[in-house]
Amino acid sequence: MIKKQYNLTPEACDEISEEVMSFCDRVKTDRKDKQRYRLSVEECLLSWLEKGCEGRNLTLIAGKRLFRNFIKLEMDGEAVEPFSAIKEDYGDYCDSFLVYLNLRPEYSYTRGKNNLLYRINRKSPGQLTVLCITILIAMFVGLVGKFLLPPSVIGFLLNDIVTPFYDTFFNILGCVAGPMVFLSVCWGIYGIGDIEMLGRIGRGMLIRFVGMTFLVSLGSMVVFPILGPGLSGSSEGGSQVQSILKMVLDIFPSNIVSPFVDGNILQIIFLAIVIGIALLYLGRQTRAIATAIEQINLMVQFLMNVISKIVPFIVFLVIINLIWSNTASQLDSVWKLIIVIIAAHIVAGFLFILGTALRRKVNFVTLLKKVIPSFLIAFTSASSAASFSSNVSTCKKSYGIDDSLTGFGIPLGMVMHKPISAMYNSILVIYFAGVHHVSCSVGWLLIAVFICAIVSIATPPVPGGGAIAYSILFTQLGIPMEALAIAFTIDLIADFMITAFEMLALQMTMINVSSAMNLIDSKVLRS
């Protein structure tokens, strides 16, 4: 633990900056993250100096709390928020997104002190590295155990150790799934009202982001003839109408508690939309409730980060179970799914660029060259946050999008613009519906389109979110939980591709949104 006192001066800023770099080196922080923390601390301190805080007592605290490294700045005196310009321009919503994505420190004012908290990410092996090591070890242990252990011992290990751990993990996912969707949807709707300066622009952008997600989810149903089990009840028109009507009526819960007890995601989403609109309509009168929802949402994100730590262990158990229970045949047709996923991503990326090029009369190759740097960063890191600065820079300098729209639209889009995730979810549920012979009617397809789009938006871009999303999708669409095992394994690989194409799609949508609002320099875009 480090705790040092300073008087806020330009000289002290340099000393604190060096101390931050030194601490990040000691806790083995990634080089890019280390530079980002240093620059952010310097930006904060300079902001305080510009706002007349020179000479105030300042405390630098750095250490570890609950297994997480952190850096905290405490400054005495009246409240002076260093990043208030963002709130003045775009409202609390945008600033909350940056904190939400771990791209900005958490600010608070308590007991006469200004507090800035940075949660430090420790350098760790890449996700793909961990996955490969886990799979190799699991295959080795599984094959060795299958040939050396007697069937009675294997049966004991599967029934009394592997299965209980496996079931407990999915119970945890089910516990977190409902609150996660409710909080994400409710907070997202309420946040529209915080965009005071942008007003119509903010709402228009949000509608475009969400609309694109639903449109791509619907378009993804073209793979149903390839992967799906076939449409059931296609000749029974009355039955199909009755099924769709029942789906609509079942959205309305009998009470406010039963959706969470029963895990009915459609009803949970309905409640979230209703409560979100009520909070939006009442505005500042319900500020305390909205703040509570946002803070509980942060707590759920923390739980998802914890869940993500044990996902490799679950993948290990899944592979062991597949080998020892002789059910590895479930993987026979996975190659078909992987080919469809790769092809769908390439086609979607091509269509996003081609559509934008035709609408804005820009050369296709020119757009492709401009989008590649951000695409590669997202692809190699599987992190939307890692590509944030590149996305902002590309939109401003390469496309000529207005600074205010870029600063607001990129963080908003990283959370609310999820067409590629919706497409991936749709392909996944169609495939597993075919594998497990789920009865798929027109009503089932409509629910799939809606759920895949909503879940993709409601799932935060943090580790552990995908695991919960699949449990929601499979439960709601009648797909057996056994499918989650393979879904987890595929997701760890597909995540790199999903993130990269998601950022590509976001940049193309930003071009179209800014063009519709006359907030783009067409000469820069075409150059």
Above 90 in pLDDT, residue 505?
A: yes
Q: According to the model, what pLDDT value does residue 198 have?
A: 46
- Whole-angstrom Cα distance, residue 244 to residue 146? 48
With beta carbons less than 8 A apart as the criterion, state whether 27 and 19 touch.
no
More confident residue, 319 or 376: 376
Return the pLDDT at 195. Answer: 45
Q: Residue 347: which pLDDT band, with cuts at 50, 70 and 90? A: very high
Longest CA–CA span in the chain (Å) reads 79
Rounded Cα distance between 307 and 328, Å, is 26
Rounded CA gap, 467 and 383, in Å? 16
- Rounded-to-integer distance, Cα 379 and Cα 398, Å: 20
Specify the pTM.
0.73
pLDDT at 392 over 80: yes
pLDDT tens digits, one per residue of 45-81: 888 888 888 888 888 888 877 667 888 888 888 888 8
Helix (H/G/I), strand (E/B), else coil: 21: helix
Q: Give the C-alpha distances (Å, rounded to integers) separating 520 from 23, 53, 69, 396.
A: 42, 37, 41, 9
Q: Which of 92-101, 178-187, 225-234, 347-356 has the lowest mean pLDDT?
A: 92-101
Helix (H) or strand (E) holding 61: strand 57-65
Q: Of 119 and 505, which is predicted with more confidence?
A: 505
pLDDT band at 235 (very low <50, low <70, confident <90, very high): very low
pLDDT at 130 over 80: no
All residues at 6 or more sequence positions from 411 whose CB lies less than 8 Å from its CB, including other chains: 94, 97, 98, 101, 103, 388
Can you give the pLDDT at residue 422?
Answer: 92
159 or 314, greater pLDDT: 159
Q: Is the pLDDT of residue 438 over 60?
A: yes
pLDDT by residue (tens digit) across 7-18? 888 888 888 888
Q: Averaged over 163-178, what is the pLDDT?
A: 75
The residue among 335, 329, 263, 315 whose CA lies nearest residue 466 is 315
Minimum mean pLDDT range among 202-206, 239-243, 311-315, 441-445:
239-243
| Mean predicted confidence (pLDDT) in 263-290 | 77
The rounded distance, in Å, linking the Cα atoms of 515 and 31 is 37
pLDDT on residue 216: 93
Q: Inform me whether the pLDDT recorded for 197 exceeds 50.
A: no
Cα–Cα distance, 59 to 7 (Å, whole number): 9
Does the pLDDT of residue 292 top 60, yes or no? Answer: yes
Is the model's pLDDT at 508 over the cut of 90? yes
Instruction: Say whether pLDDT at 89 is over 60.
Output: no
Most confident of the ranges 69-78, 466-475, 484-493: 69-78
Taking residues 291-303, report their average pLDDT.
Answer: 74
Closest CA to 180 of 301, 310, 311: 301
How is residue 54 written in tokens? 């020179």
Average pLDDT for the chain: 79
pLDDT at residue 342, as a whole number: 92
pLDDT of residue 101: 58
Position 261 scores a pLDDT of 76
How, if at all, do strands 106-110 and 2-7 pair?
A: unpaired
Higher pLDDT pick, 271 / 282 = 271
